[in-house]
Amino acid sequence: MTVWIEKQRYIIDFTISSLLRRKVKNIGLLALYTLIVFILASTMFFTYSIKKEAKLILQGSPEIVVQKIVAGRHDLFPVSYIDEIKAIRGVADVESRLWGYYYDSLVQANYTLLTPSKPIDESTSKARTTVVVDPHDPRAADVNKPLYDYDGAAPEAGTLIIGNGVARMREIGPGDYMPFMAFDGQIMNLKVAGTLASESELVSSDLILVNGQDFRKLFGIDDKWITDVIVTVKNPSEIATVAGKIKKKLHDSRPIIRDEILRTYDSIFNWRGGMMIVVFSAAVLAFVIFAWDKASGLSAGERREIGILKAVGWETGDVIQMKFWEGAMVSLTAYFSGVILAYIHVFFTGSAVFEPALKGWSALYPNFALTPFVNAEQLTTLFFLTVVPYTVATIVPIWRAATIDPDSAMRHTGE
Amino acid sequence: MRNSSLFFLSILSEAVLLGALLLHASFSETTQRGILEHKTMLVKNLRLTDLCLFTEARYTRHLSQADLNTAFQDHPLSLEHFPSGSFTEPNLHNDIP
């Protein structure tokens, strides 16, 4: 065993010095290879983490949302429909929702205005930070400060609670006033009562929570109308049945169930991940051609080198082992470096490379740190996508070259 | 030091670094669980339906709530002109009869 290990080490020593003789070409190949692994791994980490986070967070979203549809577009929902939905067997509760968009021409951003309903769980406001602080440090964090500033209660009339993205962009905070132009052209000045925590930006960055009266005054919506309703079902296995019944009873309605919301996000990120790979596919393809050419097409110098090795007593098996180590060394180094860089890129720098594509033209983009969800399956898939094909590609053509006669290999130096 | 020793040392250190990052992932998952639960509670309390990722147009903000003809919402003849819209798959088919 020791003899075998020593032999492999000598082969590796020789392979490294052989690779270093063509330094520029091999370092270029390694850098390109690492870049490709980095892009693939970043896409994989990002899409998987955001899909998982969306799935976890959106578990809290409503079981069924019912919209009213007029000419294919969603329209205001008549309050009178609520009783009709309540009468359906299996429905536990029906709640109205008031929400809409407000375009702020000053910063050219769309806000989501929302009127909070009654809080479901009051425990959210009791969450406390557990940081040990120096009592003499005036800049230290307040240990008694709630982790979330917002406790779920509706804001009072004339006040609003803003998402952290809005606060950051408008550079405002509690106590400041925010002007809105109502539907009739009148200016409404609403006082900022609080901000939503920055940790929740992924869902709340553009939110503005307002009182129901202010909402109706701002958009000119009569009491007879709401935006849509949320239906809670007694038995979770009956959600689809209840949604079907709603559709049957109210022909102009469109029920959206939670599963559809989750599936929408699942497919969006599959699509986005796919798009990312399509965008980078030209680079991947160029690399594949380059790597294939490098790995399979032996240069005259390499052919001569094999000839000399065979002439000095190397066996075919030894030459193949040498080429195996060459492929394994390049691909393993690229794999590890690429994956490490991708992890740092996605989870420490906030996916700086992908941000422009995700951002689109939005002026109001959330600052969020993804929870690193990485599993063995992703790493194994990457390994089999990158290391294995390259290593195999280096061995197969060498088989032919290694079996030729050393004399003829050395003679064909000019080809 | 021999070249082979240098190679194994570098591969080993990269593997250890990757292992440390995976450990970081597993620890962060545990520490972030609280924040994730709070986000879920915020979504529950405010009855939210969507992530705040694509905010350039109102129909990309609440993707799961958007009309089925979202792509042509501005005008029946207008082509999709917001980057998010073109990167986003059309809304899923509603299974409800």
Residue A413, chain B, CB below 8 Å: the answer is: no
Tell me the CA end-to-end span of chain A in Å, nearest whole number: 41
User: Of residues B39 and A274, which shows the higher confidence score?
Assistant: B39
A57 to B36: CB separation less than 8 angstroms, yes or no:
yes
pLDDT by residue, tens only, chain A of 415 residues: 788 888 888 888 888 888 888 888 888 888 988 988 898 899 889 888 888 898 899 988 899 999 998 887 788 999 999 999 999 988 998 999 999 999 888 888 889 999 987 766 544 444 443 444 455 555 444 444 443 455 556 788 888 888 889 999 888 888 889 999 998 889 999 988 888 888 888 888 889 999 889 999 999 999 999 999 999 998 888 898 999 999 999 988 989 998 888 888 887 777 666 666 666 777 777 777 776 776 666 677 777 777 888 888 888 888 888 888 888 888 899 999 999 999 999 999 888 887 777 776 778 888 888 888 888 888 898 888 888 877 777 777 777 667 777 777 677 654 4
A122 secondary structure, DSSP code: G
Residue B55, chain A, CB below 8 Å: the answer is: yes
CA of B87 vs chain A CAs: smallest distance (Å): 6
Q: Are A359 and A365 in contact (CB under 8 A)?
A: yes
Q: Are A74 and A67 in contact (CB under 8 A)?
A: yes
A119 to B73: CB separation less than 8 angstroms, yes or no:
no
pLDDT for the residue A77: 92
Write the residue in B44, B54, B91 that is nearest to A362 by C-beta.
B54
Residue A127, chain B, CB below 8 Å: the answer is: yes
Return d(Cα A392, Cα A390) in angstroms, integer.
Answer: 5
A vs B, Cβ pairs < 8 A, gives 233
Q: Which of B79, B87, B42, B36 is nearest to B60 (CA)?
A: B87
B18 to A339: CB separation less than 8 angstroms, yes or no:
yes
Q: Are B70 and A236 in contact (CB under 8 A)?
A: no
Q: Give the residue on B whose Cα is nearest the Cα of A239.
A: B96
Residues from chain B that touch A112, judged by Cβ atoms under 8 A, are: 52, 61-62
How does residue B76 score in pLDDT terms, banded at 50, 70 and 90?
Answer: low
Residue B69, chain A, CB below 8 Å: the answer is: yes
Q: Are A192 and A161 in contact (CB under 8 A)?
A: yes
Tell me the two tokens of residue B13.
């250190």
Length of chain B equals 97
Q: What kind and span of H or E run contains A20?
A: helix A2-21
A positions 10-39 inside 8 Å of B (CB): 10, 12-13, 16-17
Q: Give the residue on A whose Cα is nearest the Cα of B83.
A: A360
Write the residue in A147, A363, A366 that is nearest to B38 by C-beta.
A147
A271 to B87: CB separation less than 8 angstroms, yes or no:
yes
Return d(Cα B93, Cα A214) in angstroms, integer.
Answer: 35
Q: What share of chain B is helix, strand, coil (3-state, %, to 5)?
A: 60, 0, 40
Phi-psi sector, A335: left (phi>0), alpha (psi -120 to 50), beta: alpha
Dihedral sign computed on CA atoms, order A146, A151, A154, A160:
positive
Q: Which of A38, A49, A64 is nearest to A272 (CA)?
A: A49
Residue A203, chain B, CB below 8 Å: the answer is: yes
Write the residue in A53, A62, A254 that is nearest to B47 by C-beta.
A62
Q: Which of A192, A195, A194, A164 is nearest to A180 (CA)?
A: A192
Tell me the two tokens of residue A153.
């209660």
Return d(Cα A76, Cα A49) in angstroms, integer.
Answer: 36
Tell me the two tokens of residue A371.
């929870």
Return d(Cα A286, Cα A315) in angstroms, integer.
Answer: 34
Residue with tokens 């967070």: A57
Partner residues linked to A225 by β-bridges: A78
Task: Give A326's Cβ-side CA count (13 Å radius).
Answer: 27
Q: Are A393 and A297 in contact (CB under 8 A)?
A: no
Average pLDDT over residues B56-71: 74
Name the H helices within A22-122. 23-57, 81-86
pLDDT for the residue B83: 66
Write the residue in A203, A205, A343 that is nearest to B39 by C-beta.
A203
Mean pLDDT lowest among A336-345, B13-22, B72-81: B72-81
pTM for the predicted model, two decimal places? 0.81
- A23-67 pLDDT, tens per residue? 888 888 889 889 888 988 998 898 888 888 988 999 888 999 999
- A55-92 pLDDT, tens per residue? 899 988 899 999 998 887 788 999 999 999 999 988 99
Q: Give the residue on B whose Cα is nearest the Cα of A148.
A: B38
Q: Is the ipTM of this complex over 0.95?
A: no
Partner residues linked to A19 by β-bridges: none
Tell me the two tokens of residue A261.
């919301």
Q: Give the residue on B whose Cα is nearest the Cα of A9.
A: B4
Write the residue in A62, A332, A365 that is nearest to B49 by C-beta.
A62
pLDDT for the residue A270: 75
pLDDT for the residue A226: 92
